[in-house]
Structure 1
Amino acid sequence: MGAWYKVGDEVGWTNLGHVDYDAWAKSKSFRVGDTIQFVYNQGFFGVLRVTRKNYNACNATAPYSISLTGNDTFTLKYPGHYYFICGRIGHCEFGQKVHISVPANNSVPVLAPPPVLVPPPIDQSPPHHDNPSPAPVPSLTDWDKNSPGPAPEVVQPPSTSPSPSPSPHKKSGGSALVGSKVWLTSVVLLAFCACGIAF
C-alpha cells in the first residue's frame, strides 16, 4: 500500500514542452511499494524500461519491458534505480525520459503485531496458616564429623508442657534402700530371738 505518482503530474508523459522529468523525479520521495503511472496519447508515445547505459545513450534496443497502452503503471518492488525512456525516434533526445531512485533505507515500515495480553496464573497453592509448625531442632548426629572445629552446642528449646512436681510422699532411691536394710535386720533379729525362746 504505497503512494501513487503520475509521471509529469498534470502534463503526463510527453515530449511536448520539454518537461524535465528528472527534476520531477528528484522532487519526490519514492519508496518500495509505490506505483508510478505513465499517462500519454496512445499511438504517439511509449514506455520502455532500459538499462542505465541505454538510458544515458537513449538507446531503445533490448529493453527490460515495453508498454504501449497509454495508461501504464509500474510498481517499485525493490530499492534501486529504474530507467524509463520513450521508444519513439528522437523523443528521448528531447527529454522524454525519467530516472526513478528508490533508497534502500526508505522502504515501507512493517508494523509489529499488537502484544498479546496474558492473564497472570491463578495461585492454587494451599492457604497459609497463622501458626506455622516450628522448625526441627538439630541434633549432634546432624553435625558433620569431617567439618573443622568442635561440634556446635545444641540447645533444646524449653518444653511447653508443665513438668509434674514431685510427690511429697515419694522417697528418693537412697532412702528406700536404707529402709529395706533396716527392715531386713529386724526380721533376722526376730528370727534369732524366736529360736532362742524355742530352745
Structure 2
Amino acid sequence: MSGFRFNLVVIMALMLASVQFHGTAAQTTHVVGDALGWNVPPTGPSAYITWASSQTFRVGDVLLFNFTTGFHNVAEVSQAAYGPCTTANPISIVTTGPVRLTLNAPGTHYYVCTVGTHCQIGQKLTINVSAASATPPPALAPTTPAPLIPPTATPTPTPSTTTPPPTFSPAPSSEEASPVSPPTFGQSPSGGNAPSPTESTTLPQPSPSFAPSFTAVAPYTFLAIALAFFY
C-alpha cells in the first residue's frame, strides 16, 4: 500500500512538472505587422522584414494575421515559390480573417497573400522558428512516504449487564388485609364444630339430695298445726 502511495506521489509530481513546463514554455502570440496588420505595406517588402527582425519565434507560438475577409488571404508557400511570388500549389491557404497559425515546426517559414499582385508589392513574410526551449523544472527530491496509520477503531458500546435493583412493593396494611369470613354455624372460629342453633342443649341434672323435698314435708306440717289448734 505504501509503494502504491509513493508511485501516486511520483505520478502527480510528474504531471505538475509537465504543467509547469508548459506554463514556462507558454505560447506567444505575434500580431503580424502590429498596427499595420496583414495588408499591402505602403513602404514595400521592408515593412515585414523589419517587423520580423524584432521578434523571436519558437515552436508553439502563434502568428495572428489581421485582415478583412475577401480583401486578403494567408498562404504558406515553399522557398522556391516565395521569391517569384508563385501562388500555385501553396502548402496551405486560409481566406477568412483574422487567421491564427500555430508554429508547429522549427525552421524557416514563408507566407504570402495570393490576391492580385499583393505579394509582388510587398505583402509577404519570412520568419525563422527555433525549437521550443524552456528552463527544465527543478528535480524533485525523493520523498519518504508517510507510514500508513490505520484508523482508530471506535469502541462499540456493550450493553450493560447490571441487574436492576429489585422493586419492593409496600406490604398491605391491616385495613387492606383480606377480610376474615365469619364463621358459619356448625363450625367454630378455630376450625372446630359448633352446635347448631336447632340442636337442644341438655342441661346437667342436679345430684340427688337426701334432704326431704319442701313439697313433701309441707302437708304434714300444716296438718300438725291444724290439729293443735282444735285441741
Query: Given the alignment of the two structures, is residue 2 of structure 1 paired with residue 10 of structure 2, yes or no?
Result: no
Cα deviation code 1:33-71 (max 9, x no counterpart)? 110010011111111000011111101000011111111
Aligned equivalent of 1:78:
105
Q: 1:32 aligns with which of 50, 59, 62?
A: 59
SS at match of 2:57: coil
Conservation of the 8 A alpha-carbon contact between 1:2 and 1:108:
no
Aligned equivalent of 1:22:
49
CA distance in 2, matches of 1:80, 1:113: 29
SS at match of 1:83: strand
- 1:42 aligned partner, one-letter code: T
Paired residues, number: 120
Mapping of residues 77-156 of structure 1, within 5 Å: 77-104=104-131, 107-109=132-134, 111-112=136-137, 114-119=139-144
CA distance in 2, matches of 1:71, 1:34: 16
Conservation of the 8 A alpha-carbon contact between 2:31 and 2:65:
yes
Distance 1:101 1:57, change over 3 A: same
SS at match of 1:8: coil
Mapping of residues 154-165 of structure 1, within 5 Å: none
SS at match of 2:81: helix
Divergent runs of 4+, >6 A? none
Cα deviation code 1:158-189 (max 9, x no counterpart)? xxxxxxxxxxxxxxxxxxxxxxxxxxxxxxxx
Aligned equivalent of 2:92:
65
SS at match of 1:69: coil
Percent identical: 35
SS at match of 2:65: strand
Q: 1:41 aligns with which of 59, 68, 86?
A: 68
Conservation of the 8 A alpha-carbon contact between 1:82 and 1:101:
yes
TM-score, normalization: structure 2? 0.48
SS at match of 1:48: strand
CA distance in 2, matches of 1:18, 1:69: 25
How far off its partner does 1:110 sit?
Answer: 5.8
Conservation of the 8 A alpha-carbon contact between 1:18 and 1:94:
no
- 1:84 aligned partner, one-letter code: Y
TM-score, normalization: structure 1? 0.55
Unaligned runs of 5+ in 2: 1-25, 148-231
RMSD, aligned CA = 2.3
